[in-house]
Amino acid sequence: MGAWLSSGLHLVFVVFVAAACAVRARGSSTKLRRGAWFALGALPLGLLSAWFCVLASWIRFDLGATSVPWLPAVFLFVLHTLALAWIWKRIVRSEAPIRARSLPLAFGALAAFAFESVVLSNLELRGRLVASACSIEAGRKAFRVDVANVDDANNAARLYAPHIETIQREDRFDLDDWYAMDEPEKPLDPHDPKLRAVLAEWAPILADVRKAARLPHCQFGAPSDDFMRPAAPAIALFHFATALGLEARVKAADGDLETAVADVAAAYALARHVAETPSIVTTLTASVIRAAARVALARVISARGAPVTHLAALDLSKEPRLVAGLPSAMTMEEAYGLGMLGAAFVDEQARFSFVSGPFQHELYLALMFEDEVRGYRACIAEMVTLAGQSPAEILRFKHESMAGYQARVRAAGLLPAMLSGNLLDHFLAAHASDAELVLARLAVDAKGFELEHGRYPTTRAELANLPADVVLEGDGTFVLLRNTSTAFTKSVELRVPPENRSPR
């Protein structure tokens, strides 16, 4: 498109020259003839300069005059200014016959057209080759993290899938009114008739969910098939986890602790199934599901009624660490970003909104795209390195180096800012979720000790598999487990009032 624009403007230039040659304007004054010649020569060259300068600044207006696209724009502007000076000196002020003046002018216009057309065409072609290479590399990276195919008998997705569309389509499954009822100022009422009515609608679905949660794997599709397509249904499992957590608290209030514990176990299994799809967003969703499951577990442990003998079925020691999946998630994140870069400039239907115009698209592809791909790779490489670091290293980078990283992202361009982003909070959320999983497992063990001995454990020797960085406190009414090495991790506090304690 850039070559076509260049050729069009220079063609207008040649037409104006031919028109001037035909009119000749013999009766006009010398100043008028000179002004007409200069206007005819300056118009197309000025338009071309304005196109490059204005559009380059429009696309990258937030990055200032130091952005790379300004360099070729300024170069063209200077080149055209020199051309205008040459026109004024050699043609406008010349007293030579009009034919002698017009032929060099026409030849210069054609030469400029040929040069700029070839340059712009090759730049556009190079940009398209870079975009195609991005698409190919994205597929290669996604294929590298593909999980092994799972037979239908062991794939929980076949049981989840029929219900995902149902709960999203029908309002009777809406749980938004009770989703955030964990705050002290708005506690959940397990006897709310409206809540119980909605959970009654959920009952057949949750029966299938508990059955699916016992299966070892959950795959909605291979990541290499369509990058993030399998992530969408995996994220939708969050709605199932919300329903399980609410039902667990209602059943615990009713004394049906067997169903309540089964719901908690299914919620933890849902988190594992969601995390099986490698991506940052599914990892974050899994951590949110675990947090909801932990809240439900705390309510189940502290509920009135018979001893929670069913806790033995809740084995959290086999739940995987979310941090272990971060390398694969970051590989998919990079593949997704490269895939978007490639699609945006190979498929016209996938263009980014800020380069939606045809000429803007070609200008961006020719002048900026390759540099922004390079910037995206550099930005995402820093995040990939941090994904494998400890929470302390991530926090140190966040507090000491984050400003510099954000400056590098802004300097790299709009696409790196859109696609790389700040992933540090997601990494920390994965570490926090793993720490809270350890604390939840220890809380279950502590409750089992209390049921057997009539009191909570008060020494490290009384609780098996207690990590060295976990502090245990207990006075017979509650147990507090706090991971002291990760300051960002909330404490797991399970209080049991004296009147609700198991019989001594």
Helix H or strand E encompassing 493: strand 492-495
Among 407, 423, 439, give the residue marking a domain's end.
423
Residue 61: per-residue pLDDT: 41
Domain final residue, candidates 423, 456, 483: 423
Is residue 256 pLDDT above 90, yes or no? no
Q: Is the pLDDT of residue 92 over 60?
A: no
- Both 278 and 294 in one domain: the answer is yes
Question: What's the domain range around 206?
Answer: 152-320
Q: In this structure, are residues 266 and 319 in contact, taking their beta carbons and an 8 Å threshold?
A: no
Residue 278 placed within a domain: yes
Short-list 3, 251, 249, 273, CA closest to 119: 3
- Give the model confidence (pLDDT) of 477-497 as tens digits: 444 554 444 433 344 444 444
Residue 77 or 133, more confident: 133
Last residue of a domain, one of 136, 168, 193: 136
Is the domain of 313 the same as that of 337? no
User: Could you tell me if 215 and 304 lie in one domain?
Assistant: yes
β-bridge pairing 492-495 and 470-474: unpaired
Which residues touch 289 (CB under 8 Å, ≥6 apart)?
237, 238, 241, 267, 270, 271, 274
pTM: 0.70
Higher per-residue confidence, 410 vs 203? 203
Same domain, 267 and 400: no
User: What is the number of other CB atoms lying within 10 angstroms of the CB of residue 491?
Assistant: 12
Residue 87 has pLDDT above 50, yes or no: yes
Q: Tell whether 40 and 92 lie within a shared domain.
A: yes
pLDDT surpassing 90 at residue 271: yes
Query: Considering the domain boundaries, does residue 438 fall inside one?
Result: no
> In 87-156, which residue ranges form alpha helices assigned H by DSSP?
98-144
State yes or no: pLDDT of 276 exceeds 80.
yes
Is residue 430 in some structural domain? no
**Cα gap 316→313, rounded to integer Å:** 9
Give the tens place of pLDDT for each residue, 398-424.
888 888 888 888 777 666 666 666 788
Strand pairing class (470-474; 478-483): antiparallel
What DSSP assignment string belongs to 436-492? HHHHHHHHHHHHHHHHHHSS---SGGGSTT--TTEEEEE-SSEEEEEETT-TTSPPE
Mean pLDDT of the chain: 71
Q: What is the mean pLDDT of residues 215-225?
A: 74
Alpha-helical (H) ranges within 24-97 are 30-59, 70-86
With respect to residue 428, please indicate whether it lies within any of the assigned structural domains: no
Q: Are residues 73 and 220 in the same domain?
A: no
For residue 494, give the H/E element and its range.
strand 492-495
- Asked if residue 92 is part of any domain, the answer here is yes
Neighbours of 445 (CB within 10 A): 21
Is residue 445 one of the residues assigned to a domain? Answer: no
**Count of domains observed in the chain:** 3
Residues 241 and 385 occupy one common structural domain:
no
pLDDT of res. 495: 43
Q: Which residues of 321-355 are buried (b: 16+ CB within 10 A; e: fewer)?
A: ebbebbebbbbbbbbbbbbbbbbbbeeeeebeeeb
Write down how long the chain is: 504
User: Quick one: 265 and 174 in the same domain?
Assistant: yes
Residues 159 and 295 in one domain: yes
User: What percent of the chain stands above pLDDT 70?
Assistant: 55
Residue 475 lies in a domain: no
Q: Are residues 72 and 9 located together in one domain of the fold?
A: yes
Tokens 């350890």: give the residue: 438
> Are residues 183 and 215 located together in one domain of the fold?
yes
Q: Are residues 260 and 346 in the same domain?
A: no
C-alpha to C-alpha distance for 307 and 385, rounded to whole angstroms: 47
The answer to whether residue 282 scores a pLDDT higher than 70 is: yes
- Identify whether the C-beta of residue 324 lies closer than 8 Å to the C-beta of residue 466: no
Q: What pLDDT is recorded for position 268?
A: 94
Q: 338 lies in a domain?
A: yes
pLDDT attached to residue 34: 59
